[in-house]
Structure 1
Amino acid sequence: MKIKIKIFFVLIMAILAWSLNRVIISMDSAEINENEVSEKVNIQNNTENIDKSNVLWTAIERKESYNNELQYYCKENVTINDNEIIIISKKEEKENKSYTSGLVESTYGYLYGYFEFDIWIKEGKGLFPAIWLMPVEDASLPEIDIFEMVGSAPQDFSGVFHYLDDKGIKQKTYFQKKVIKKDTYKVALSWSENELAWYIDGELVHVSKSSPSEYMYIIINQAVGGNWPGSPDDKTLFPSSFIVKASKINPINKKRR
């Protein structure tokens, strides 16, 4: 009988020891998991901070337009995936405007450098896609148009430099280049202290010996209607997209706006 009691007592002690060990292991595991979660949260927070600090583009909400354009710029009409920007123009009413479209601005201002973009365009009367630069300081000039075209003449690419001369008189130097119809084009601007040079698909198409010497930011948009492209007609298909990939943004100088 005494032997049975001893065996029973040993079994009870063994069970208690095993249970206590499992509790300790569970507590250690919970602590490890808590630390892992904390580390993951910190990593995510750091990633978010890095992403926010490196954002290059921001979509703009704007009703006002120029040159009798017909669009309302909506943030919802813009998708930004890193350096790829998708702008959708739609035929829809918004605050007394007949169309909506999209516009983005760079979050940095740049001074000199090389700027290259892959673009996908759609034809259609009234469409007016563009890539251009404006002064970081609020001013209407100078203005560098890296790329412009109107949807009724989609194979005629233009570039313009608008500026004031030493006497304060408005001047411009520009080009128009007829391109072969294809899916994708590459447009670029090389900007130095002494000149501006435009490229289409790697070909030098225009050089200006006048060049701005101030920080400028990039605008990418697709207007609808206006003095130059005219209003859309029944053949213009909506929604219509303008897709831009900023393949090379290599400034000499840059600063956050």
Structure 2
Amino acid sequence: MKSPVREPAHTPPQIDPGRGFEWVQDWEMSDEFETVPVVNRWKRRYRWEIGNRRWLGRKPSFFKDENVEVKNGKMLLYAKEDTAPPNYPPGYGKFSTAFVRTRKTRRYGYFEIYCHLRDSKISSAFWLTKNTPELWTEIDVFEYSTSDKINTSGRHFKTLYNMNVHVHRHPHGVKYNDPKIYDARRDLSQEPIKAGLDWREDEIVWYLDDVPVRRYKNRDFHQPLHLQLDSETFPNWFGLPETGGSNRNNLPSAFEIYYVRTWYRKPIWD
């Protein structure tokens, strides 16, 4: 599977919308990171929220607004060795990471990013979620790390595309997660990749470089969700980078997103 070339703006997905439908781009949940000055990008009227006011980050890392930057036609989510502010609860420190999400939510559609994954134990992640008092669901398009650890099936993380679905809270008491792994058999951090999710009422399909790598019968994922991009530390899963400026920890480093594109299906006869 070769790394794809970046498709020009306004290019529809390579995924068939199905008979009787066409793709329509949702520009409130799409960004080419080229035409809007950075100073305007985070204003309330615009499409992104930076940081997470309900979650400080995954310990020992913490989200830091300054770790999000837009330049040279891409959004950069940095991870760095850092020190948490003194007012943070115990357990936060050592590493700062980054978090952004769309202000708008959407139910169903095709969600795609073209990106260069971080070469680090600290994750690069693309996911959709929303947390309300009644309902909290999550679809993980991918969580990725080039950790030198070996996973439970004896494979190297740097070739693994980790996908998941979570029902954290449900009015009927449903609660579960269903992780799946696709082995790309190549280091996914070496070249840009295209990651996509086709979320329909009856099925969810994950795509890597326009190739389907997982299918899931959709039972519980009908809640409008935010599109989110972030980086986290996973001490037990990926392990933690070394500290003290070691050449082995690949920090500071960036998860680079060249575009975010979202489409929805529209009946052709409308």
TM-score (norm 2): 0.66
Contact 2:74 2:256 in 1 (8 A): yes
Identical counterparts, % of pairs: 22
Q: Which amino acid aligns with 1:64?
A: L
**Are 1:132 and 2:127 an aligned pair?**
yes
Segments of structure 1 that go 5 or more residues without pairing to the other structure are 1-47
Segments of structure 2 that go 5 or more residues without pairing to the other structure are 1-38, 86-91, 148-156
- The counterpart of 1:65, out of the listed 22, 39, 57, is 57
- The counterpart of 2:68, out of the listed 41, 57, 78, is 78
Question: How many angstroms does 1:52 deviate by?
Answer: 5.7
Question: How many angstroms does 1:94 deviate by?
Answer: 2.3
Alpha-carbon distance between aligned partners in 1 of 2:251 and 2:146, rounded to the nearest angstrom: 12
Q: Which moved more, 1:49-58 or 1:85-94?
A: 49-58
Q: Secondary structure at the match of 1:161?
A: strand
TM-score (norm 1): 0.69
Question: How many angstroms does 1:105 deviate by?
Answer: 1.1
Alignment correspondent of 1:35: none
Alignment correspondent of 1:115: 111
Question: How many angstroms does 1:244 deviate by?
Answer: 1.6
Contact 1:61 1:74 in 2 (8 A): no
Q: Tell me: CA distance 1:123–1:162, structure 2 relative to 1, closer, same or farther (3 Å).
A: same
Count of residues in correspondence between the two structures: 203
Q: Tell me: CA distance 1:247–1:218, structure 2 relative to 1, closer, same or farther (3 Å).
A: closer
Question: How many angstroms does 1:141 deviate by?
Answer: 2.9
Alpha-carbon distance between aligned partners in 2 of 1:51 and 1:79, rounded to the nearest angstrom: 11
Contact 2:79 2:96 in 1 (8 A): yes
Q: Which moved more, 1:73-82 or 1:235-244?
A: 73-82
- The counterpart of 2:261, out of the listed 231, 244, 248, is 248
Question: How many angstroms does 1:65 deviate by?
Answer: 2.9
Q: Tell me: CA distance 1:165–1:204, structure 2 relative to 1, closer, same or farther (3 Å).
A: farther
User: Residues 44-193 of structure 1 correspond to what in structure 2 (within 5 A)?
Assistant: 55-60=46-51, 64-66=56-58, 69-80=59-70, 84-95=74-85, 97-125=93-121, 127-135=122-130, 137=132, 141-152=136-147, 153-163=157-167, 168-179=173-184, 180-181=186-187, 182-193=190-201
Q: Tell me: CA distance 1:218–1:190, structure 2 relative to 1, closer, same or farther (3 Å).
A: same
Contact 2:41 2:48 in 1 (8 A): no
Q: Pairwise CA RMSD of aligned residues?
A: 3.0
Q: Which has the higher helix share?
A: 1
Q: Which amino acid aligns with 1:123?
A: D
Larger radius of gyration: 1
